[in-house]
Amino acid sequence: MKKNGRKELISIVIPVYKVELYLEKCIESIINQTYKNLEIIIVDDGSPDNCPQICDEYSKKDKRIKVIHKENGGLSDARNAGIDIATGKYIAFVDSDDYVSDDYVEYMYRLIKKYKAQIATCETQVVHIESDEENQEQFIENIEVLTARDLFYKILFAQKSDVSAYSKLYETALFRDIRYPKGVVYEDTATTYKLIEKCDKIATGNKKCYFYFSRPNSISKMCGFNKNEIDYIKNTDEMLKYLQNKYPDLEQAINRFDLYANFRILRLLLFTTPRDKKKEQEVFKKIKSKRMEVLKYKDTPKRDKIAIILSFFGLSIFKFSWYIYSKKTNRIV
């Protein structure tokens, strides 16, 4: 755990763009980590607000902070810029409009070292801007050490972790020949599975250490279908095709995730103005081709089964039901 009597260096990469209202909370949560030997890399991606000044002020206060100022190139480009200069044995990512618990790094570092894993994960909790409150649930630790294949099964059935870049601690060496694709969104969908595939073991924890701030202008906030969703479709298809070839025994899990992805696209299409009814029917046709099969799987999540059942009543009932659900749960349409 220690090198020459000192804990190993861990790099934290924070891409920054137009988040001046949230940036300080994010940075404060990182500089106050219980794990102190950090290299904090803040990448100002050409932010036009006060973010560059905030970044520079923090770099004067804490010598662990390195700031990169660059022209706007998008989230992938900003993450890659941080990876390129990272010198830590391990690396993690935090989006600049989110924040983390004070043991975010230490919790996952402990899992990596204890179980000799290449990646460790924690759980994410969504915090809504209206309340800014965290659920205080009783924590009962449940650690699973998984192979890549077994983790893919759990991700595809929404049982454990996901393909987001955050809420994970990686061996930096995993990025030796991997970078996030530039110029696209949902870049983590195109990348995380490649990193997992390189691992012998992944230690998955269930402690909620990453807090995702749901806000109106969040990078991942979506209201209706737009051209960015093409990247989601493309990246998801590429991931599923790879997994289908590598792990044919994961057919049920792959079918479930494919159906989930199509439901997601359908929901966005239904709330887009003007409606693209041709595209809606195209996606709905894909859903109808798999819904009965996926409904029968024992590991299909309850929420998916409800969506499938509602889909039998047609698009109008499905849209109305989802609207009511999203209002009650503050879920992004």
Q: Do 16 and 137 belong together in one domain?
A: yes
As a whole-number percent, the residues of the chain with pLDDT over 90 amount to: 79
DSSP state of 22: T
User: Is residue 8 scored above 80 in pLDDT?
Assistant: yes
Q: Stretch 296-315: mean pLDDT, rounded? A: 95
Q: Do 250 and 139 belong together in one domain?
A: no
Q: Do 263 and 208 belong together in one domain?
A: no
Closest CA to 54 of 39, 41, 44: 44
User: Is residue 190 scored above 60 in pLDDT?
Assistant: yes
**Least confident among 80-84, 258-262, 265-269:** 265-269
What pLDDT, on the 0 to 100 scale, is given for residue 271? 84
> pLDDT band for position 322 (50/70/90)?
confident
> pLDDT band for position 60 (50/70/90)?
very high
Tell me how many domains the chain contains.
2
Distance CA 217, CA 332 (A): 12
Q: Do 168 and 247 belong together in one domain?
A: no
The three-state secondary structure class of 116 is coil
Q: Stretch 11-24: mean pLDDT, rounded? A: 97
Q: Do 202 and 235 belong together in one domain?
A: no
Residue 161 lies in a domain: yes
User: Is residue 321 scored above 60 in pLDDT?
Assistant: yes
* CA trace torsion 165, 166, 171, 174 (10° rounding): 0
What pLDDT, on the 0 to 100 scale, is given for residue 222? 40
Distance CA 167, CA 245 (A): 28
Q: Do 80 and 175 belong together in one domain?
A: yes
Across the chain, mean pLDDT equals: 91
What pLDDT, on the 0 to 100 scale, is given for residue 119? 98
What pLDDT, on the 0 to 100 scale, is given for residue 3? 53
CB atoms within 10 A of CB 62: 12
User: Is residue 5 scored above 80 in pLDDT?
Assistant: no
Q: Which of the pair, 321 or 111, is modelled with greater confidence?
A: 111
Q: Do 203 and 238 belong together in one domain?
A: no
Residue 219 near residue 95, CB atoms below 8 Å:
yes
Closest CA to 139 of 123, 155, 126: 123
As a whole-number percent, the residues of the chain with pLDDT over 70 amount to: 89
Distance CA 288, CA 7 (A): 54
Residue 112 near residue 168, CB atoms below 8 Å:
no
Closest CA to 167 of 110, 219, 205, 216: 205
Q: Do 160 and 239 belong together in one domain?
A: no
Q: Do 208 and 300 belong together in one domain?
A: no
Q: What is the pLDDT of residues 202-248, one digit of tens each?
A: 999 999 999 998 865 443 444 556 667 888 999 999 999 999 999 99
What pLDDT, on the 0 to 100 scale, is given for residue 221? 45
User: Is residue 313 scored above 70 in pLDDT?
Assistant: yes
The three-state secondary structure class of 37 is coil
Give the domain range for residue 270.
228-329
Among 182, 214, 246, the domain-final residue is 214
- For the whole prediction, is pTM greater than 0.85? yes
Residue 143 lies in a domain: yes
**Least confident among 23-32, 128-137, 182-191, 300-309:** 128-137
What pLDDT, on the 0 to 100 scale, is given for residue 154? 98
Q: Do 249 and 198 belong together in one domain?
A: no
What pLDDT, on the 0 to 100 scale, is given for residue 220? 41
